Amino acid sequence: MGASLPPKEANLFKLIVKSYETKQYKKGLKAADAILKKFPDHGETLSMKGLTLNCMDRKAEAYELVRLGLKNDLKSHVCWHVYGLLYRSDREYREAIKCYRNALKIDPDNIEILRDLSLLQAQMRDLAGFVETRQQLLTLKPNHRMNWIGFAVAQHLNSNGSKAVDILEAYEGTLEDDYPPDNERCEHGEMLLYKISLLEECGMIERAVEELRKKEPRIVDKLAYKEQEVSLLEKLGRFDEGEELYKKLLSMNPDNYRYYEGLQRCMGLYSANGQYSPDEIDRLEALYISLSKQYSRSSAVKRIPLDFLSAEKFRLAADTYIRPFLTKGVPSLFSDLSPLYDHSGKADILEQLVLELEHSIKTTGGYPGRVDKEPPSTLMWTLFYLAQHYDRRGQYDVALRKIDEAIEHTPTVIDLYSVKSRILKHAGDPVAAAALADEARCMDLADRYVNSECVKRMLQADQVALAEKTAVLFTKDGEQHNNLHDMQCMWYELASGESYLRQGDLGRALKKFLAVEKHYADITEDQFDFHSYCLRKMTLRTYVEMLKFQDRLHSYSYFRKAAAGAIKCYLKLYDSPSKSSAEEDEEMSKLPPSQKKKLRQKQRKAEARAKKEAEVKEEANASAVSRSGKRPIKPVDLDPHGEKLVQVEDPLAEATKYLKLLQKHSSDSLETHLLSFEVNMRKQKILLALQAVKHMVRLDADNPDTHRCLIKFFHKVGSMLAPVTDAEKLIWGVLEAERPTFSQLQGKSLIEANTLFLEKHRDSLTHRAAVAEMIFVMEPNKKKEAINLIEESSNDLVSSDGALGPVKKWRLKDCVAVHKLLGTILADHDAALRWKVRCAEYFPFSVYFEGSGSSAVTNSSYHPMHKLHENGSPNNESSLPLSSNGNVEKLEALKDLVIQ
């Protein structure tokens, strides 16, 4: 390194390297310039200068210098290594790997290059190469612990667990008897636990138990030791030992639900689906009675029996469980009991039980059967629970009465306003819900959660500008909107994107959805630093878990929603393309000269203003750099409103990029294949559309969307021209062979299959709507019959033993979808109007249907405190001015604050 230089310049070169490592970039540049004065063509110095400039955000110069350095000294491993580092900094990992391999051809035993290469191979999941590089590192430096561990982990990731165990045992053989010293006991213990988990993964359970017990004195994490031991004992079928060990774990943490579940498994009393025989229920009841005596302060030991008890025993257990929480005032009680609402009959028992408690508190001031009086807040928390209960059951009018009664009782509890906001949102009035959430926020301006909930409600009401102003109250000063992006606030970006999509602003919607995709790319990149850190710190089990998590990262719901949103935007762009510049010029040429002049002046002013704003931001960044010597925080966003995103030449090609990710990581989601069908039908990719239909039928054959796609597909195929080319004949042959594989179409025409589907799902509104749509698609002259089929639907009552009557089964979002179907695809304005009037009765709080109780009606009793525009935004957004620290700037505004 720098060997071709005289001693003085060679020392300067070492200074460049040291300055780079210690981030003293100006010092490094000065030394590089000193060398280049005498040796202007010295390749390694040019490369190091380029690498230093790259760290100072001068990328164009950096690449130019590094390439020049490499050109001047192609046989220098330093130049190739630096070129690889440059690519790595720009996340061009494949190119970086190529550069490292070229460097290793020149210097095959260079430890630094091998280590850097191994990190990139782990990042790119080149597992065979990772094993090879790690083996080479171990061969070169066998006295380094990290090389042994790295080689073992590489073998494990390459699905060779037994080899990884052998490597770890060979490493242990190199250690002295008194190893580890006190300062390395934790790391060594972690390595031993990792080895045990490898033995378990390889199926060597007996050996794993022996090894675990043998190495117990050297394992520091005793809780992890016990959990690993009990897991192994279960797998060996040694349930008596496992039972005793689970009881020891419960004594350490009696609120850990996994320990109770494990204890039940060891006693043969666990069922994954929650179904138990009467004898098993009796044994479980006896078990939890004995455990509750032992752990009387545990909440879990009282909650778990509610899952398997029924009838009167459930009622007694629920009564015992609920009363202390209502007395203490625990807001999360309903969330805790919410899973029980999926169990048959339990929701009715809970309703009757809490209503009895409410009646008793109102009449006697205490619980039934008790002389002691309850504090006044108990009634409020009881009403709070009941409001959420009726909200869950869809009885919004009762829920609102209960929550209003609770607010009247204690008007200072923020949770009451938040829950009322949630009820109104479920009832179909997002505007009133946003106003209530804002009221809750104003009661505690320092509560970030309440602020976030308010922002979410505003976005659901399409009040994006107000939501942004509210959200940035809890961001740092400066470029506040960018802070939300830097904080990876994905729930906000998704909600904003969905709001913009509803409003038809596809540019801004795409901007938000693609920002979420960018966050996932950043999360993938963030794992890079852990490849060396975890091996050094020996957190091996967590490291392997993290890598597995990263491999399934794109299957999580936030990415799925963002990708689906982006695809929907691109589909809308394809169906309704934005005007090209040529079309805009043509339209402008038709305008009178005076209007044309005004329009051009307006455009020039807008362009000049945008340019000036960008220049001001760039100057501010430059001055910040000159003062601090640090790189700018964030580059200027040249397309803040996503205008360039909507000007794509091929929207379907862009949609396909995200569709492939969904197909790879979310293949079990029906929405993935529904989007695949929509994209491929537009692309005329018939076989790919068929594949999507087959996946939908496999996942849920009775889903209305599956039925729609199936009928649409074969109706489209039936209207295709006879095949001419060999490729068309081949496709036609596949379609002919595949049609009989659909049981819905065997020996039936599409019209018969549609009728059969209706007979099977006659009582479902969504299924009837799907059948009606397909009637119209196949036989447009039967439009009246299709509309009648929808209008004949009845909103039957779901049988219920609830004290306040049965629940209707139509859902608001399904009725909205049917209204849109009548107004757009079936294009019958009168039928859509009749449906709207009918639904306004069923959903009196719905803004969409202009129900009598909604904020769309001015005399509504639940009308929020602000007057609202038709677009859902408050009439005066500055009625409660907000400062950047979250405080109300004008306290006088609080005088007019109305608490309903």
- Enter the tokens of residue 202: 């390889």
Q: Is residue 892 over pLDDT 60?
A: no
Q: Looking at 254-258, 761-765, 767-771, which range is the least confident one?
A: 761-765
Q: What is the pLDDT of residue 899?
A: 36
382 falls within a domain: no
User: Does residue 152 lie in a domain region?
Assistant: yes
Task: State the amino acid at position 852 in one-letter form.
Answer: S
Q: Are 60 and 83 in contact (CB under 8 A)?
A: no
| Listed residue (900, 895, 860) closest to 880, CA to CA | 895
pLDDT single digits (tens) 346-368: 999 999 999 999 999 999 999 99
Measure Cα distances from 149 to 119, 137, 146, 534 in Å.
14, 11, 5, 10
| Closest of 639, 617, 665 to residue 515, by C-alpha | 639
Mean pLDDT of all residues in 785-799: 81
Q: Are 642 and 507 in contact (CB under 8 A)?
A: yes
Q: Cα–chain-centroid distance for residue 330?
A: 28
Biggest CA–CA distance in the chain, Å, is 99
Q: Within a domain: residue 302?
A: no
Give yes or no for residue 590 having a pLDDT over 70. no
pLDDT one-digit tens code per residue, 591-601:
677 776 666 67
- Whether the per-residue pLDDT at 572 is higher than 50: the answer is yes
Q: Is residue 344 part of a domain?
A: no
CATH number at residue 133: 1.25.40.1040
What is the number of structural domains in the chain? 1
pLDDT tens per residue, range 612-653: 665 555 555 555 444 444 444 556 677 778 888 888 889 999
Residue 814 lies in a domain: no
Give the per-residue pLDDT at 621.
52
Give the confidence band of 481 by pLDDT, cuts at 50, 70, 90: low
Residue 838 resides in a domain: no
Mean pLDDT of 22-29: 91
Is it the case that residue 260 has pLDDT exceeding 90?
A: yes
Res 18 pLDDT > 80: yes
Determine the 3-state secondary structure of 637 from DSSP.
coil
Q: Return mean pLDDT, the chain.
A: 87
Q: Could you tell me if residue 163 is inside a domain?
A: yes
Q: Residue 657 to residues 418, 557, 662, 698: CA-CA distances in angstroms?
A: 39, 18, 9, 24
- Inform me whether the pLDDT recorded for 856 exceeds 80: no
Cβ pair 804, 390 in contact under 8 A = yes
CB-CB contact of 683 with 650 (8 Å): no
- The answer as to whether 394 is a domain residue is no
Which residue, among 210, 204, 248, has the nearest Cα to 227 in the 3D structure? Answer: 248
Higher pLDDT, 795 or 66: 66
Determine the pLDDT at residue 482. 66
**Which residue has 């935004």 as its token pair?**
873
C-alpha–C-alpha distance, residues 32 and 507, integer Å: 46
Per-residue pLDDT band for 464 (boundaries 50, 70, 90) equals: very high
Per the structure, the complete domain to which residue 182 belongs is given by 7-201
Task: Please tell me the pTM assigned to this model.
Answer: 0.85
| The pLDDT of residue 900 | 38
**Residue closest to 662 by CA, chosen among 556, 536, 547:** 556
- How confident is the model over 75-132, as pLDDT tens digits? 999 999 999 999 999 989 999 999 999 999 999 999 999 999 999 999 999 999 999 9
What span, in angstroms and rounded, lies between the C-alpha atoms of 786 and 316? Answer: 52
